[in-house]
Amino acid sequence: MPHVLARLIVVTAASTAAFVACAESASAPMTARIEIENACTVAARDLDFGIRSSLSQPVDAATTVEVACTNIGAFSLGFDRGTGPNARAESRKLSNGIDTVNYSLYADPGYSAVLGDASDGTTAMTGTGSGSTQTFTVFGRVFAGQGAKTVGVYTDTVTATLGY
């Protein structure tokens, strides 16, 4: 048994000595790489202005939109004009058949920053992913002075689009 161990040590030492004793060598860099991407989701809650018998005064309401991103990266949250006929971001349309009620969505409680897709003077909400859910408040206002309306439920569907 001692002879086997001695021969193993001699062979190993000789192999190592042969590598170290080389007159020349070559090397090449190796790049290690990983790309981290974001995976984000958006969830919007309904905006309910309640039941009203008059639109002589503005009707205000608020709701929330939640954004969850798995990693740290910038995102933009835009809102379309909705499905109401002839709607614009600054004057969306709640519809009941051919009848409409004008309203808009805002990024601030002062009702000055109209929510849209960041074009035509509108504002998109922006943020940076954090690995957890972030909540944004959307403020809605039905405009006053729209006169008498047909009795019924008026609805609109606005799509929130998350770019990341």
Half-sphere exposure of 133 (CA within 13 A, CB side): 8
Burial of residue 20 (number of CB atoms within 10 Å: 0-12, 13-18, 19+)? exposed
Q: Map tokens 């929510």 to a residue.
A: 115
| Strand (E) or helix (H) holding 4 | helix 2-20
pTM, two decimal places: 0.81
Domains of the chain: 40-152 (2.60.40.1090)
Contact 67, 134 (CB under 8 A): yes
Spell out the per-residue pLDDT of the chain, length 164, in tens.
Answer: 444 333 333 444 444 444 456 789 999 999 999 999 999 999 999 999 999 999 999 999 999 999 999 999 999 999 999 999 999 999 999 999 999 999 999 999 999 999 999 999 999 999 999 999 999 999 999 999 999 999 999 999 999 999 99
